[in-house]
Chains A and B, each alone.
Chain A
Amino acid sequence: MPVHLSLRSYSLRAPNPSSCFPSRRRILQRIHMLAWIALFAFPSLPARSEQPSDITQDSIEELMKTKISSVSKREQQVLDTPAAVYVVTRDELRSAGVRNIPDALRLVPGLDVNQIDASTFDVGIRGFDERFSNKMLVMIDGRSLYSPIFGGIYWDSINLVMDDIDRIEVICGPGGSLWGTNAVNGTVNIITRSSQETPGIFLADRSSSDTPISLSARYGGHVGRFGSYRILAKYADAFGTQDESGHWAGDAWHLLRGGFRSDLKLREHDALMLEGNLYGASFGEPLSKTILVAPFAVTASGINSVSGGSAMGRWTHGYASGQETQVQIYYAIEDRDATERPDNLYTIDADVQHHFHIGSRQDLVGGAGYRYSEFYAPATPFLTITPAKQQYPLYSAFIQDELVMFPKRLSLIAGGKSEHNRFTGLDFQPSLRLNFRPNEKSAIWASVTKAVKIPNILNTSMYRPLSAGVGADGIDLTTLVGNPKYKDEHLLAYEAGSRLQLKRASLDATGFVNNYNDVETNETLAPVARSGYTEYPTQWANNLYGKSFGAEVAASWKVAPVWKMTGSYSWLKMEMRTNSQSNDTSTAVGFNAGTPTNHFGLRSSLLLLKNLDFNALAQYTGPLPSGLGRNTPPALPSYYRVDSNLQWHVRDYFRMDIGGQNLLRPRVTEYVGGNGAIQTSSPRNIFARITYVF
């Protein structure tokens, strides 16, 4: 798939029926089937002999072949962290059999994940979830995926090779003081494995009823004496989804991705990490376009071509005194040739961080960064950005001091980050955290943090037709326009939590109270007479304030050496309201009713036989209460979701999984209306996956 950076003019295109089955795809499917036959013909070898419970009886040669799980180290680190951290480990990713990041995030308490269509998701942390959640930061290895234009994340082009992921660290709550603005409600950091850990050949093929092809190939090797590298390629092809009546939504997609990573040790104290990727994809997008004649809205599907790439380098230098400096530079470019929201965005980011100790009790990290984004967003009938070409420079600096007040008992972390953006200037986000360790196995923490969401380009520069109809004097058109004076949104968060880490069980509970101010509203302005219609503009403003309360609980229990259960529960209540200057009657209700109050999840991982795992996951998402007012989302009933899979492996070189997701019903509607998207649903799918490692 060529990476093209040119832009084309737009028109609403209905999908070409014959494009459902180009001959290229047929050929790929045939090769695919043959590959499966060939792989199955490979003889399966006898399982290895049983391991005695006294591990010292194993010979050292056998120990070298033993696979390890590094769970305990991570558990210790989490006990020392005064924040609502949840880590999705590689084992959990594998047991869950997930195919993409949003599905993996369903496992985390405090997160609300709803599938919108075949490639888009609505993900939110502690409320405010929307298709483009602007109060959440998502990163891969420290590289931000947040778009300053839409103030959100495009989940569609993050299609990683799942085996490359070491862990996903989710912090619920404002990570503002360390990660920066827009991490208001939470941060998701996807951390990939070092190339040192992925040598050799890796092949994986996942086929499911909604995504028939998902093929990954990876090769890892050494760079002389200096270190290691890996290169990878992935191709995925998915069918679209159907709505409740069985009509196809036109949201099929396919994606080709290539990437590399290299971890080098240049000299004794210098480490260099290089990472890059290139991708080209095509996504069908169900759309609704507002027009000025009856029936005032037409639906159709657009085909979005997305291509892009990124390159990142991170240099870490350790000093003899124990200090460490880290410099990270990345460059990312994406050309999104979309029907509704096209854009051509490039970003360059440079960060410096220094870590040092003062005495034996203080640990200081400080840093500064500069990020420059430039984009061009041509106008479409759906959205116009004025001016279409803009720059977005961002300066930032942060400092964090960890003070050990009583060794192994009490530590205090004080920090702050300051950023400067071209719309609202300078902001400051301080945070104070306390971590108390009553003993080795438990921790109690509390924190107060201030976080800020800075204006994105939509907030300040957009024009979008929302709906049309027949009014008193002819045609009326309601629009949404940007506000160049849009202010920062503020959050003051109070959080506390406790953790218990026993040998076979763990419990993690968090509670929070969030105070929001200057949050987004849409104010109705005076109508404007235009030629042929009357425009009723609504404009972005900052007239929403309020509170949200919530709690998250995560527990795990190793019932038997072969059976582990994990449970999670979250509760959220939002009380947002508009101030006296506002005439917006629906946004507050929309947020308050837009996230379910209760989420519950239960997972089981059972080792049936020597090489056979059985995993099951059941989730409950509460209903969206019906809201009042014209534009609130209609009530969505609660839904259950059950996933299950069987995983079989032969030694450590061959692995096969079969299972299903969303097994209870043929499809579940997880997301209603909004953003011009058509009503679609999350389908039931059955999958099989095989993996070879040489």
Chain B
Amino acid sequence: MSTETNATARQVLKKKHCCSCLPSRVNRHALWYLLLCAVVFHPLATGNAWAQPANDADRVKAAFLFHFAQLVEWPADAFDHSGNSLFLCTLEDDTFFDELENTIEGKQIGSRTIHIRHVHFSQATRECNMLFVNKKDSRNLPLATLRNLPVLAVGEADDFLSSGGIIRFRIENDKIRFDINLGAAQASHLKISSRLLLLASSVSRGAGTDSER
């Protein structure tokens, strides 16, 4: 220790007689609270014995993407190249890509099967029906080139919607929320179900900043 802190002669502290009444009272309070807890506390009766752990963000996002695919209608010619497949693309072969493969690869959306691929952005315009862009990859991405193309662009960046994206994920109070740019969807000839529109935190029409409903 620094010698600024020399040990000094020890003195016996005078007993503070008032404060000596504290501990027993405090312990009684603490015990009283605990007793009350035990009485009112009855979660044991409900629910199943073994619980599910907290959900990983990637897993929940993957599930959202699956539902988006169910609640969006593509124009008839969007699947000319892909046939019975609906391609959901990411720009990176990362842990989210692995999560998508584990969670929704091969699932059925109506008559179509979802397949997950990772592509370069230039391929996305031709080969993808849905595109997910994470925050990092959003930088400098020419999202505007997707305009008029039937690609459902979903992203996370703060300015995703104003750059041309259609749905944007956010985290609020530890839960996933999303915002929709309806104008961009209409330009891409994508029909978004009213059920999805109702659940969105905000729906904007133009390329401007997000507006609250």
Q: Which residues in A have some Cβ–Cβ distance to B below 8 Å?
A: 15, 17-18, 20-21, 33, 36-37, 40-41, 44, 46-48, 50-51, 53, 55-56, 58, 60-61, 63-73, 76, 91, 130-131, 196-200, 207-210, 212, 222, 224-225, 239-240, 243, 245, 247-250, 252, 265, 267-269, 271, 286, 288, 290, 295-299, 318, 321-322, 440, 458, 464, 466-467, 478, 480, 520, 522, 538, 561-562, 584, 586-587, 590-591, 594, 607-612, 631-634, 648, 650, 652, 656, 658, 673-676, 678-679, 686-688, 693
Complex-state Cα separation, A396 to B11, whole angstroms = 47
Which single residue of chain A is at the shortest CB-CB distance from B42? A44
On whether A91 and B175 interact (CB within 8 A), knowing A250-B16, A590-B3, A686-B30, the answer reads no
B56 touching A225, Cβ below 8 Å: no
A585 to B30, CA, bound (A): 49
**CB distance B67 to A607 under 8 Å?**
no
Return B84 CB to nearest CB of chain A, in Å. Answer: 19
Q: Are B15 and A222 in contact (CB under 8 A)?
A: no
The smallest C-beta distance from A262 to any residue of chain B, in angstroms, reads 15
A265–B23 Cα gap in the complex (Å)? 51
B71-A72 in contact (CB<8A): no
Q: Which of B114-159 contact A (CB under 8 A)?
A: 139-140, 158-159
Q: Are A297 and B9 in contact (CB under 8 A)?
A: yes
* Minimum CB distance partner of B138 in chain A: A322
Q: At the interface with chain A, which of B73-81, B166-174, B184-192?
A: B166-174
Nearest chain B CB to A308's CB is how many angstroms away? 25
Query: Which residue of chain B is the closest to A41 with respect to CB atoms?
Result: B40
* Cα separation A297 to B9 with both chains bound (whole Å): 6
With A67-B55, A297-B11 already in contact, the answer to whether A239 and B26 are too (CB < 8 A) is yes
B15 touches A248 (CB 8 A): yes
Q: Are A290 and B8 in contact (CB under 8 A)?
A: yes
Number of interface residues of B (CB under 8 A): 81
Whether B172 lies near A197 (C-beta < 8 A) is: yes
With A47-B47, A55-B55, A295-B9: A522-B159 Cβ-Cβ less than 8 Å? no
- Given the complex of chains A and B, what is the CA–CA distance between A673 and B6 in angstroms? 8
CA of A633 to CA of B2, assembled, Å: 10
Most chain B CB atoms below 10 A, which of A55, A587, A611 = A55
Write out the residue numbers on chain B whose beta carbons fall within 8 Å of the beta carbon of A50: 47-48, 52
Given A68-B171, A562-B50: A594 and B1 within 8 A (CB)? yes
Which A-chain residue is minimally distant from B38 (CB atoms)? A658
Given known A-B contacts A56-B63, A271-B158, A466 and B6 have beta carbons under 8 A apart? yes
Q: Which B-chain residue is minimally distant from A462 (CB atoms)?
A: B4
Residues on the A chain within 8 Å of B30, using CB:
207-209, 686-688
Which A residues lie within 8 Å of B171 (CB)?
68, 70, 197
**Contact of A36 (CB < 8 Å), options: B36, B51, B173:** B36
- How many residue pairs link A and B with beta carbons under 8 A? The number is 264
Give the residues in chain A near B47, CB-CB below 8 Å: 46-48, 50, 609-611
| B113 cross-chain contacts in A, Cβ below 8 A | none
Contact B40 A44 (CB under 8 A): yes
**Interface residue from B40, B71, B139 paired with A322 (Cβ < 8 Å):** B139
Interface centre among A41, A68, A466, A675 (most CB of B within 10 A): A68
- Bound-state Cα–Cα, A561 to B49, Å: 14
User: In the complex, which residues 154-213 of chain B have their Cβ closer than 8 Å to any Cβ of chain A?
Assistant: 158-159, 162, 170-177, 195-196, 199, 209-212
**A675 CB contacts on chain B under 8 angstroms:** 4-5
Q: Give 11 CB contacts A-B under 8 Å.
A: A55-B63, A56-B103, A60-B71, A60-B199, A68-B56, A268-B162, A464-B4, A658-B37, A673-B5, A674-B5, A687-B30
Contacts of B7 in A (CB 8 A): 631, 633-634, 673-674
- Interface pair A69/B57, CB less than 8 Å apart: yes
Q: Which residues of the partner chain B approach A224 to less than 8 Å between Cβ atoms?
A: 212
Known: A17-B16, A68-B175, A265-B209. A520 touches B2 (CB 8 A): yes
Bound complex: CA of A550 vs CA of B1, how far in Å?
19
Measured in the bound complex, the distance between the Cα atoms of B8 and A449 in whole Å is 39
Q: Closest approach, in angstroms, between the C-beta of B171 and any C-beta of chain A?
A: 7
Please give, as numbers and ranges, the residues of chain B lying within 8 Å of A458 by CB-CB distance. 4
Q: Which chain B residues lie closer than 8 Å to A686 at the CB level?
A: 27, 30, 34
Interchain nearest-CB distance for A302 vs B (Å):
14
B140 touches A322 (CB 8 A): yes
Q: How far is the CB of A56 from chain B (nearest CB, A)?
A: 5
Complex Cα–Cα for A586 and B52 (A): 56
What 1/0 mask marks residues of chain B from 11 to 39 whose CB sits below 8 Å from any chain A CB? 11111111110110011011001101100
Contact B1 A633 (CB under 8 A): yes
7 tightest A-B CB contacts, nearest first: A674-B5, A610-B47, A47-B47, A17-B18, A247-B13, A68-B57, A60-B67
Q: A44-B43, A225-B210, A225-B211 are in contact. Are A607 and B3 (CB under 8 A)?
A: no
Give chain B's interface residues, CB within 8 Å of chain A: 1-20, 22-23, 26-27, 29-30, 33-34, 36-37, 40-44, 46-60, 62-64, 66-67, 71, 94-95, 103-104, 107, 139-140, 158-159, 162, 170-177, 195-196, 199, 209-212
B106 to A: closest C-beta gap in Å = 11
Residues of B within 8 A of A299 (CB): 11, 13
Q: Report the bound CA distance from A155 to B42 in whole Å.
A: 38
Distance in angstroms from A420 CB to nearest chain B CB is 26
CB distance from B121 to the nearest CB of A (A): 14
Contacting residues, chain A, for B59 (C-beta < 8 A): 55
CA distance A37 to B36 in the complex (A): 8
Question: Could you say which residues of chain A place their CB within 8 Å of the CB of B8?
Answer: 288, 290, 297, 467, 673, 676
- The winner among A51, A56, A609, A610 for most chain B CB atoms within 10 A is A56
Contacts A248-B15, A648-B43 given: A67-B2 contact, CB under 8 Å?
Answer: no
Q: Is the CB of B159 within 8 A of A269?
A: yes
Q: Which residues of A contact B15 (CB under 8 A)?
A: 247-248
Complex Cα–Cα for A318 and B43 (A): 49
Distance, CA A587 to CA B4, complexed state (A): 9
A130 to B2, Cβ gap below 8 A? yes
Taking a contact as CB atoms closer than 8 A, the residue among B34, B48, B60 that contacts A68 in the complex is B60
A609-B51 contact given A199-B173, A207-B33, A522-B4, CB 8 Å threshold: yes
- Which residue of chain A is the closest to B7 with respect to CB atoms? A673
Please, which residues of chain B bring their CB within 8 A of the CB of A21? Answer: 18
Cβ-neighbour of B174 out of A40, A67, A464 (below 8 A): A67
CA distance A48 to B55 in the complex (A): 15
A658 vs B212: C-alpha distance when bound (angstroms): 39
Question: What is the chain B residue whose CB lies nearest that of A693?
Answer: B173
Residue of A whose beta carbon sits closest to that of B28: A209
The winner among B10, B12, B94 for most chain A CB atoms within 10 A is: B10
**Chain A nearest Cβ from B107, distance in angstroms:** 6
Q: Which of A61, A584, A674 contacts B199 (CB 8 A)?
A: A61
The answer to whether B43 and A72 touch across the interface, beta carbons within 8 angstroms, is no
Is B26 a contact partner of A610 (Cβ separation < 8 A)? Answer: no
**For A21, A69, A198, which residue has the most chain B Cβ atoms within 10 angstroms?**
A69
Measured between beta carbons, the chain B residues less than 8 angstroms from A609 are 43-44, 47, 49-51
Complex CA distance for A631 and B5, rounded to whole angstroms = 9
Q: Give the distance to chain B from A264, nearest Cβ to Cβ, in Å.
A: 11
Residues on A with C-beta less than 8 A from B3 are: 480, 522, 538, 584, 586-587, 590, 631
Q: Which residue of A lies closest to B170 (CB)?
A: A196
Known: A268-B162, A322-B140, A675-B4. A69 touches B18 (CB 8 A): no
